[in-house]
Amino acid sequence: MGGHEQDADGPEHTQVWFGPESRPLHGWVSRPAGGLARGGAVLCPPMGEEGRAAHRTFRRLAEQLAEAGIVALRFDYDGTGDSAGLQDDPDRVPAWLASIEAARQYLLDLGAPGVAAVGMRLGATLAAVQAAASAPFSSLVCWDPCLSGRTFLREGEALHGFGETALEAPDDGLRHTPGFQYDAATAAQLRDVDLGKLTSERQLADRVLLLARTDRPAPPAIVARLEQERLETGAATAQGQLLDVPPELSVVPQDALRQVVGWLTAGVQDEPAVPVKAPDGEHAVLVGSGPDGSVPVRERLVRLGPDRIVGFADEPADLRPEAGPAPWVVLVNVAAEHHIGPGRRWVEWGRRWAALGYRVVRIDQSGVGDSPTRPGAVDDRAFAPEWIDDMRHVVTELAGDGAQVGIVGLCSGSYSAFEVAMWEHVDAVFAINPRLTLYPAAKGSPVYTDRRRAAMLPNRPFAALARRRRILAGGLWRIYREVALWHAPLLVPWRVLSRGTAVEIIACPDDAQHFTEVYALRPLLWWMRRRRGFGFESRRDLDHSLLTRPAQLVGYEKATMFLHRSLTGHRTEDARRG
């Protein structure tokens, strides 16, 4: 576990902690082959749901910059991603700006001869504001920038009002965007973040590239301010395919990526390559489990199984081996999204549970997030067949010291939890909005495999119809399985429960009905509910993707209670064999 990851004869990619020791920032350094670089670049990601969608794009950007001779640092702002802190801590905007400055200083300390910045959306706005307040970057890429923090919040609130998140927003004084909420103090600070109002007396960079969407021109105030710099312009192609879809459907905008890499490379082509130090080896740090003053927990990167999939483990800081192995909780990535979970809740839940005595690991299955993609496989493909073996390796490795293992998953993560529980002994599965009828994995699909044990795969005619008429196919499939009972999703938790695994399901009404609509099996559901170790609840305060605050609060409360009930002792020999 741990150590540097290096492509054969290529760049080296290392997970790092930097910034204040008491509040470490998380990042990845991509260092050119041989440790020689002509420049450096800090990569400032978008905020909120846009940040989740852009994760793969920024990983690819860092890798390609390193291949081009530029040492790159992609990082998470304070209180976001895997960095320490909470999204509702005080002084958010100053902390985010300080994170950018800490990232710049970290690259300079490694020996980067100059530091550029690439920012997307609010990340571009923050990078420009920090440059004006501190020192200009060698180059600055403003990739589809937000005009201001005010516009960022307004756009997020508008999105929150549509689609599945269109539940009544609680009267809690927060500004609600999909998955993420901002308090009044942060909203007030964001009003002062305005790219168009930055003084022209402070240079932002030696050269600036503005990438504007082809379907949405950059606001005139942005153009007017950046024209006071040495400005070049380009097109933020395929930006809609990156940000205007759910994160699991995001597509890396390859043309825009090549444009950014080429422009930054051209800016340093006449510079000599100089040695850049290797970052410190990957190591554990102490992070708070909640607000300032909360119990600290130890967090570290782990690489699990023969394919070395990436996870972040949180453990009690005072873990005592003599007390016996503490239970493990696995938080599974959702679809093709990385391991922070909806609204970053996997990070916050994992740290809180570690403070309660659990060991928690948040994982990226193969081809997702920061995990490697198997040779011949495709990035960001949900329900990939290799996920079956990933989960088996995770469970068996974590249980190697005799610890209990529980799994918490949302949607596809719940499927992965049930799938592995059909192969290996798992002590507990907490499933949020599980969907076990997998149209994307049916015969003829790129991810079909006959190895699946927990998936209900529609017959080929239904799957083919679903590609053209999804609603019609779904209706016919539901009618069909009233008689073809072996396709009923309820049978999956029943089989897992029969293997000695505690199971609890909470679901929004649309997802819950998949377990209740087969009339012939309703007596089975009644019997399961009376059995110890099983729970099932349909809740109207849940949305499918867990992007609303009420759903996130309910999810944490229910999952915590379930873990306390289900992971209280050591596994017996019978359970190991079960």
Beta bridge partners of 71: 40
Summarised one tens digit per residue, pLDDT across range 446-490 is 999 999 999 999 888 877 887 788 788 878 888 888 888 999 999
Whole-prediction pTM: 0.94
535-550 burial, b at 16+ Cβ within 10 Å, e below that, comes to: bbebbeebbbbbbbbb
Query: How confident is the model at residue 319, as a pLDDT?
Result: 85
* 434, HSE (Cβ side, Cα atoms, 13 Å): 29
CA angle 462, 467, 471 (to 5 degrees): 70
Q: What are phi and psi of 303, to 5 degrees?
A: -125, 120
Beta bridge partners of 18: 25
Summarised one tens digit per residue, pLDDT across range 505-541 is 999 999 999 999 999 999 999 999 998 899 999 999 9
Contact of 142 with 211, CB cutoff 8 Å: yes
| End-to-end C-alpha distance for the chain, whole angstroms | 29
Looking at residue 519, its amino acid is: Y
Structural domains present in the chain: 5-148+199-270 (3.40.50.1820), 285-436+489-573 (3.40.50.1820)
| Greatest Cα pair distance in the chain | 75
CA distance 83 to 368: 19
Count of Cβ atoms closer than 10 Å to residue 442 Cβ: 21
Nearby residues of 297 by Cβ (< 8 Å), 6 or more positions away: 286, 287, 288, 289, 314, 315, 316, 317, 351, 354, 355
| Residue showing tokens 């020999």 | 573
Q: Over its length of 578 residues, how does the chain's per-residue pLDDT go in tens digits? A: 344 565 557 899 999 999 999 999 999 999 999 999 999 999 999 999 999 999 999 999 999 999 999 999 999 999 999 999 999 999 999 999 999 999 999 999 999 999 999 999 999 999 999 999 999 999 999 999 999 999 999 999 998 877 555 556 678 889 999 999 999 999 999 999 999 999 999 999 999 999 999 898 999 999 999 999 999 999 999 999 999 988 778 999 999 999 999 999 999 999 999 999 999 988 999 999 999 889 999 999 999 999 999 999 999 999 887 778 999 999 999 999 999 999 999 999 999 999 999 999 999 999 999 999 999 999 999 999 999 999 999 999 999 999 999 999 999 999 999 999 999 999 999 999 999 999 889 888 899 999 999 999 988 887 788 778 878 887 888 888 888 899 999 999 999 999 999 999 999 999 999 999 999 999 999 999 998 899 999 999 999 999 999 999 999 999 999 999 999 754 333 333 33
User: Which among 547, 2, 88 has a CA at the least distance from the CA of 303?
Assistant: 2
User: Which among 396, 337, 331 has a CA at the least distance from the CA of 358?
Assistant: 331
Contact of 18 with 24, CB cutoff 8 Å: yes
Q: Is 401 helix (H, G, I), strand (E, B) or coil?
A: helix
Q: What is the 3-state secondary structure (H, E, C) of 223-282?
A: HHHHCCCCEEEEECCCHHHHHCCCHHHCCCCHHHHHHHHHHHHHHHCCCCCEECCCCCCC
